[in-house]
């Protein structure tokens, strides 16, 4: 809500804080010793090779999975062990776009975007339909309001699920691979849109991606997850990391070199 919003807590407190997090599926530890902050109103990119646990980390950040150990704080309040009602209240301030889209297949695109609005706002149907049209227009899907998810292309599914993620004007927007499956131009437009949304909604954006062009275009800071050491490889500004990181794997990732 631009600079006009008065609901924000002091800007120095990190929006999301992760402390000594360990992620595991049963005995199989995916990542450990994760400690980092996500600042308010920044675009934070989580990157790393395929299968290093980016989506897993995201699922923990949005509370779909419980960490093996460690804590996640949201707005200074502990999130990872909050009870059910606190957690739902917090979750309503998140918008999530899943890697596979996860649109509800029995609803049209407009209904998909409208469902969160219908559940959590007191608006009448007409206004909800108007908002849904607007959100779909933002991602370039005007005219497709009455299509079902099975009737649109893979990239359109991605964009529609972004529209659904921002239905409630979330404070934190989590995007899992938003650019995958889009052509370069649409991908650029999506990057623009993400920056615009950050500015206009005052939202914090957390993006999982491995598309270099998009990382350099949008990221304020990037977190590199290292599949070899199973922990944080580097954290910082992308340009800085590319040229000056001590971790050679980070440099080769950001320079697109196949070394190591």
Partner 1 sequence: MSGFSHSISGAVSSANEAVAEWVSTEARPCILRIAGVWNIRGTSGIPRVESLLRKIADGKDARIIFDCSGLARHDSSLAAFLLEFHHCCVARGAVVDFATLPPLIARLLALALVRSDGRSGSESEERARPEGSFFQRMGGWGISSVNSWTKAFDFLGQTVIAVWNLVRGRARTRLSECWLFIQACGVDALPIVSLISFLTGLILAYIGAVQMKQFGATQYVAGMVGLAMVREMGALMAGVILCGRTATAYAAQLGSMQVSEEISAFRVLGIPPMEYLVLPRIIALVCMMPLLTLYADLCGIFGGLVVVTSMDVTLEQYYTMTLRAINMTNFLSGLIKSVFFAMLIGWAGCFRGMVCGKSSQAVGDAATSAAVLGITLLVIADAVFAVLFDAINFF
Ligand X SMILES: Nc1ncnc2c1ncn2[C@@H]1O[C@H](COP(=O)(O)OP(=O)(O)OP(=O)(O)O)[C@@H](O)[C@H]1O
Of 147, 220, 236, 252, the one binding partner 1 (CB under 8 A) is: 147
- Return d(Cα 234, Cα 115) in angstroms, integer: 39
208 and 176 Cβ atoms separated by less than 8 Å = yes
Of 10, 83, 124, 258, the one binding partner 1 (CB under 8 A) is: 124
Binding to partner 1 by residue 69, rule CB under 8 A?
no
Q: Which is nearer to partner 1, 64 or 130 (CB)?
A: 130
Beta bridge mates, 236: 222
Stretch that binds partner 1, among 35-43, 76-84, 143-151, 209-217 (CB under 8 A): 143-151
29 and 22 Cβ atoms separated by less than 8 Å = yes
Dig out the tokens for 159 from the structure. 């964009």
Dig out the tokens for 113 from the structure. 């975007």
Stretch that binds partner 1, among 48-56, 131-139, 172-180, 220-228 (CB under 8 A): 131-139
Of 25, 104, 120, 134, the one binding ligand X (CB under 6 A) is: 25
Nearest-10 Cα torsion for 98, 103, 105, 111: 170
Stretch that binds partner 1, among 54-62, 73-81, 113-121, 217-225 (CB under 8 A): 113-121
55 and 64 Cβ atoms separated by less than 8 Å = no
Cβ at position 85, least distance to partner 1 in Å: 18
With DSSP H G I counted as helix, E B as strand and the rest as coil, what are the percentages for the chain, rounded to 5?
40, 25, 40
Per CB under 8 A, residues contacting partner 1 are 1-2, 4-6, 104-106, 117, 120-124, 126-127, 130-131, 133-135, 137-150, 166, 168-169, 189, 192-193, 196-197, 199-201
């Amino acid at each position: 809500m631009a600079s006009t919003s008065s609901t924000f807590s002091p800007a120095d407190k990190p929006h999301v804080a992760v402390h000594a997090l360990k992620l595991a599926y049963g005995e199989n530890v995916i990542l450990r010793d994760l400690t980092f902050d996500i600042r308010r109103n920044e675009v934070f990119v989580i990157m790393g090779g395929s299968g290093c646990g980016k989506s897993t980390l995201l699922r923990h950040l949005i509370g779909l999975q419980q960490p093996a150990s460690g804590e996640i704080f949201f707005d200074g309040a502990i999130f990872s062990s909050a009870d059910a009602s606190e957690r739902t209240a917090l979750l309503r301030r998140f918008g999530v776009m899943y890697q596979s889209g996860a649109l509800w297949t029995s609803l049209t695109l407009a209904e998909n975007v409208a469902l969160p609005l219908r559940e959590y706002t007191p608006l009448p149907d007409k206004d909800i339909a108007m908002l849904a049209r607007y959100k779909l227009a933002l991602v370039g899907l005007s005219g497709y309001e009455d299509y079902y998810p099975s009737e649109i292309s893979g990239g359109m599914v991605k964009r529609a699920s972004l529209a659904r993620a921002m239905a409630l004007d979330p404070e934190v927007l989590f995007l899992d691979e938003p650019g995958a499956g889009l052509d370069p131009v649409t991908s650029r437009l999506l990057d623009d849109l993400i920056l615009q949304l950050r500015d206009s909604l005052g939202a914090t954006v957390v993006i999982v991606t491995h598309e270099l062009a998009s990382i350099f275009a949008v990221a304020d800071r990037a977190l590199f997850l290292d599949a070899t050491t199973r922990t944080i490889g580097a954290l910082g500004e992308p340009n800085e990391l590319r040229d000056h990181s001590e971790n050679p794997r980070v440099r080769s990732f950001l320079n697109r070199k196949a070394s190591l």
